A and B are shown apart, each in its own frame.
Chain A
Amino acid sequence: DAGITQSPRHKVTETGTPVTLRCHQTENHRYMYWYRQDPGHGLRLIHYSYGVKDTDKGEVSDGYSVSRSKTEDFLLTLESATSSQTSVYFCAISRDRAEISYTFGSGTRLTVV
Protein backbone atom coordinates (compact mmCIF):
# COMPACT_ATOMS: atom_id res chain seq x y z
CA ASP A 1 0.00 0.00 0.00
CA ALA A 2 1.42 3.35 -1.02
CA GLY A 3 0.51 4.96 2.34
CA ILE A 4 2.73 2.71 4.43
CA THR A 5 6.32 1.74 3.77
CA GLN A 6 8.58 -0.65 5.63
CA SER A 7 12.35 -0.64 5.44
CA PRO A 8 14.43 -2.57 4.87
CA ARG A 9 12.49 -5.23 2.95
CA HIS A 10 15.09 -7.87 3.68
CA LYS A 11 17.86 -8.07 6.25
CA VAL A 12 20.33 -10.67 7.39
CA THR A 13 22.07 -9.97 10.66
CA GLU A 14 24.24 -11.80 13.16
CA THR A 15 23.20 -12.99 16.58
CA GLY A 16 23.83 -10.37 19.24
CA THR A 17 23.71 -7.34 16.96
CA PRO A 18 21.13 -4.56 17.30
CA VAL A 19 18.61 -4.18 14.48
CA THR A 20 16.10 -1.43 13.79
CA LEU A 21 13.17 -1.76 11.44
CA ARG A 22 11.28 1.28 10.24
CA CYS A 23 7.64 1.82 9.43
CA HIS A 24 6.71 5.05 7.69
CA GLN A 25 3.17 6.20 6.95
CA THR A 26 1.81 9.12 4.98
CA GLU A 27 -1.81 8.73 6.14
CA ASN A 28 -1.52 10.69 9.42
CA HIS A 29 -3.09 7.73 11.23
CA ARG A 30 -2.93 7.68 14.99
CA TYR A 31 -2.46 3.95 15.60
CA MET A 32 0.54 1.97 14.46
CA TYR A 33 1.32 -1.70 15.13
CA TRP A 34 4.21 -4.12 14.79
CA TYR A 35 3.43 -7.79 14.20
CA ARG A 36 5.60 -10.78 13.52
CA GLN A 37 4.45 -13.61 11.28
CA ASP A 38 5.63 -17.16 11.87
CA PRO A 39 4.35 -20.43 10.36
CA GLY A 40 1.67 -21.98 12.51
CA HIS A 41 1.23 -18.84 14.59
CA GLY A 42 -0.32 -16.37 12.21
CA LEU A 43 0.48 -12.80 13.15
CA ARG A 44 1.26 -11.87 16.72
CA LEU A 45 1.36 -8.35 18.12
CA ILE A 46 4.73 -7.14 19.36
CA HIS A 47 4.08 -3.49 20.27
CA TYR A 48 1.68 -0.80 19.27
CA SER A 49 1.42 2.96 19.44
CA TYR A 50 -1.64 5.11 19.99
CA GLY A 51 0.11 8.43 19.46
CA VAL A 52 3.47 10.17 19.46
CA LYS A 53 5.50 8.85 22.40
CA ASP A 54 2.55 6.64 23.44
CA THR A 55 3.31 2.95 23.10
CA ASP A 56 2.34 -0.29 24.76
CA LYS A 57 3.33 -3.94 24.73
CA GLY A 58 1.66 -6.66 22.80
CA GLU A 59 1.60 -10.40 23.22
CA VAL A 60 5.25 -11.09 22.24
CA SER A 61 7.16 -7.98 23.31
CA ASP A 62 10.15 -9.60 25.04
CA GLY A 63 13.41 -8.68 23.30
CA TYR A 64 11.84 -5.79 21.39
CA SER A 65 11.51 -2.07 21.98
CA VAL A 66 9.76 0.64 19.98
CA SER A 67 9.82 4.37 19.57
CA ARG A 68 7.54 6.90 17.96
CA SER A 69 8.86 10.44 17.95
CA LYS A 70 6.78 11.54 14.95
CA THR A 71 3.29 10.60 13.81
CA GLU A 72 4.62 9.11 10.59
CA ASP A 73 7.40 6.88 11.93
CA PHE A 74 7.28 3.83 14.19
CA LEU A 75 10.58 2.08 14.84
CA LEU A 76 11.04 -1.48 16.07
CA THR A 77 14.40 -2.32 17.66
CA LEU A 78 15.82 -5.69 18.48
CA GLU A 79 18.43 -4.76 21.08
CA SER A 80 20.41 -7.99 20.68
CA ALA A 81 19.07 -10.16 17.90
CA THR A 82 18.55 -13.88 18.49
CA SER A 83 17.77 -16.68 16.05
CA SER A 84 14.25 -16.94 17.51
CA GLN A 85 13.61 -13.46 16.14
CA THR A 86 14.03 -14.66 12.58
CA SER A 87 10.63 -13.83 11.16
CA VAL A 88 8.66 -11.63 8.83
CA TYR A 89 7.70 -8.36 10.48
CA PHE A 90 4.64 -6.39 9.46
CA CYS A 91 3.65 -2.88 10.32
CA ALA A 92 -0.01 -1.86 10.27
CA ILE A 93 -1.87 1.40 10.74
CA SER A 94 -5.39 2.47 11.64
CA ARG A 95 -6.84 5.95 11.79
CA ASP A 96 -8.25 5.80 15.32
CA ARG A 97 -10.24 3.53 17.62
CA ALA A 98 -13.28 3.96 15.44
CA GLU A 99 -11.34 2.68 12.44
CA ILE A 100 -11.72 -1.01 12.90
CA SER A 101 -9.62 -2.44 10.10
CA TYR A 102 -5.92 -2.10 9.39
CA THR A 103 -3.75 -1.22 6.44
CA PHE A 104 -0.63 -3.37 6.31
CA GLY A 105 2.83 -2.72 4.98
CA SER A 106 4.58 -5.19 2.69
CA GLY A 107 6.73 -6.65 5.46
CA THR A 108 10.39 -7.01 6.39
CA ARG A 109 11.97 -10.42 6.20
CA LEU A 110 14.60 -10.64 8.95
CA THR A 111 17.06 -13.50 9.24
CA VAL A 112 19.29 -13.78 12.29
CA VAL A 113 22.27 -16.10 11.74
Chain B
Amino acid sequence: AQSVTQLGSHVSVSEGALVLLRCNYSSSVPPYLFWYVQYPNQGLQLLLKYTTGATLVKGINGFEAEFKKSETSFHLTKPSAHMSDAAEYFCAVRGNNNDMRFGAGTRLTVKP
Protein backbone atom coordinates (compact mmCIF):
# COMPACT_ATOMS: atom_id res chain seq x y z
CA ALA B 1 0.00 0.00 0.00
CA GLN B 2 1.10 3.53 -0.67
CA SER B 3 2.04 5.87 2.17
CA VAL B 4 4.00 9.02 2.92
CA THR B 5 5.95 10.19 5.94
CA GLN B 6 6.59 13.84 6.63
CA LEU B 7 9.71 14.55 8.63
CA GLY B 8 9.17 17.29 11.17
CA SER B 9 5.78 18.38 12.44
CA HIS B 10 6.96 21.98 12.83
CA VAL B 11 9.45 23.97 10.81
CA SER B 12 10.39 27.56 11.58
CA VAL B 13 12.31 29.80 9.19
CA SER B 14 13.09 33.50 8.97
CA GLU B 15 11.56 35.61 6.26
CA GLY B 16 13.77 35.40 3.17
CA ALA B 17 15.34 32.08 4.18
CA LEU B 18 15.11 28.80 2.34
CA VAL B 19 12.07 26.65 3.04
CA LEU B 20 12.61 22.87 3.03
CA LEU B 21 9.79 20.52 3.98
CA ARG B 22 10.61 16.83 3.83
CA CYS B 23 8.48 13.97 2.57
CA ASN B 24 9.37 10.33 1.97
CA TYR B 25 7.07 7.91 0.25
CA SER B 26 6.47 4.19 0.08
CA SER B 27 4.87 2.70 -3.00
CA SER B 28 4.99 -0.61 -4.83
CA VAL B 29 4.11 1.12 -8.10
CA PRO B 30 5.34 4.34 -9.67
CA PRO B 31 3.82 6.97 -7.39
CA TYR B 32 1.74 10.01 -8.03
CA LEU B 33 2.81 12.54 -5.40
CA PHE B 34 1.30 15.80 -4.22
CA TRP B 35 1.86 18.72 -1.92
CA TYR B 36 -1.13 20.56 -0.50
CA VAL B 37 -1.25 23.70 1.63
CA GLN B 38 -3.84 24.54 4.28
CA TYR B 39 -4.31 28.04 5.63
CA PRO B 40 -6.13 28.49 8.96
CA ASN B 41 -9.80 27.54 8.86
CA GLN B 42 -9.67 26.62 5.21
CA GLY B 43 -9.61 23.50 3.08
CA LEU B 44 -6.57 22.17 1.29
CA GLN B 45 -5.21 23.70 -1.90
CA LEU B 46 -3.01 21.89 -4.37
CA LEU B 47 0.51 23.33 -4.53
CA LEU B 48 2.00 20.92 -7.04
CA LYS B 49 1.92 17.33 -8.24
CA TYR B 50 4.25 14.78 -9.77
CA THR B 51 2.92 12.11 -12.09
CA THR B 52 5.50 11.14 -14.69
CA GLY B 53 8.20 12.89 -16.68
CA ALA B 54 10.27 15.74 -15.32
CA THR B 55 11.35 15.06 -11.77
CA LEU B 56 11.53 18.73 -10.78
CA VAL B 57 8.00 20.03 -10.45
CA LYS B 58 7.12 23.69 -10.11
CA GLY B 59 3.99 24.77 -8.33
CA ILE B 60 2.19 27.88 -7.24
CA ASN B 61 3.59 30.64 -5.01
CA GLY B 62 7.20 29.86 -5.94
CA PHE B 63 7.27 26.35 -4.49
CA GLU B 64 8.88 23.39 -6.19
CA ALA B 65 9.55 19.75 -5.37
CA GLU B 66 11.92 17.15 -6.73
CA PHE B 67 11.01 13.49 -7.13
CA LYS B 68 14.00 11.31 -6.21
CA LYS B 69 13.30 7.66 -6.77
CA SER B 70 16.62 6.51 -5.34
CA GLU B 71 15.84 8.30 -2.07
CA THR B 72 12.06 7.71 -2.16
CA SER B 73 11.69 11.41 -1.46
CA PHE B 74 9.58 14.31 -2.63
CA HIS B 75 10.80 17.32 -0.63
CA LEU B 76 9.17 20.72 -1.02
CA THR B 77 11.35 23.82 -1.32
CA LYS B 78 11.06 27.56 -1.77
CA PRO B 79 14.17 29.74 -2.10
CA SER B 80 12.89 32.65 -0.05
CA ALA B 81 10.16 32.43 2.58
CA HIS B 82 7.46 35.04 2.81
CA MET B 83 5.24 35.74 5.78
CA SER B 84 2.25 34.62 3.74
CA ASP B 85 3.76 31.11 3.44
CA ALA B 86 2.93 30.38 7.07
CA ALA B 87 0.49 27.46 6.90
CA GLU B 88 0.29 23.70 7.25
CA TYR B 89 1.66 21.61 4.42
CA PHE B 90 0.65 18.07 3.54
CA CYS B 91 2.42 15.58 1.37
CA ALA B 92 0.21 12.93 -0.25
CA VAL B 93 0.40 9.89 -2.52
CA ARG B 94 -2.34 8.49 -4.69
CA GLY B 95 -3.69 5.14 -3.53
CA ASN B 96 -4.98 2.20 -5.52
CA ASN B 97 -8.63 3.32 -5.27
CA ASN B 98 -7.94 6.81 -6.58
CA ASP B 99 -7.89 7.94 -2.96
CA MET B 100 -5.27 10.26 -1.52
CA ARG B 101 -3.05 9.10 1.37
CA PHE B 102 -1.79 12.03 3.41
CA GLY B 103 1.12 12.57 5.70
CA ALA B 104 0.65 13.97 9.19
CA GLY B 105 1.44 17.50 8.05
CA THR B 106 4.17 20.06 8.72
CA ARG B 107 3.34 23.43 10.19
CA LEU B 108 5.52 26.17 8.75
CA THR B 109 6.16 29.29 10.82
CA VAL B 110 7.84 32.30 9.21
CA LYS B 111 9.57 34.73 11.55
CA PRO B 112 9.97 38.40 10.60
Contacts and interface: CB of A to CB of B under 8 A. Distances in A.
Given A33-B99, A56-B97, A42 B43 contact: no
Q: How large is the interface on B (under 10, 10 to 19, 20 to 34, 35 or more residues)?
A: 20 to 34
Contacts of A58: 99
Contact of B43 (A40, A50, A90): A90
Interface residues of A, number: 25
Interface string A95-111: 00100111011110000
Contacts of A50: 98
| SS of A interface (majority) | strand
Contacts, number: 55
A105 B38 CA distance: 12
B102 A43 contact: yes
Interface stretch (B44-52, B61-69, B71-79): B44-52
A90 B90 CA distance: 14
Given A100-B32, A101-B34, A104-B44, A42 B99 contact: no
Interface of A: 1, 31, 33, 35, 40-45, 48, 50, 56, 58, 90, 92, 94, 97, 100-102, 104-107
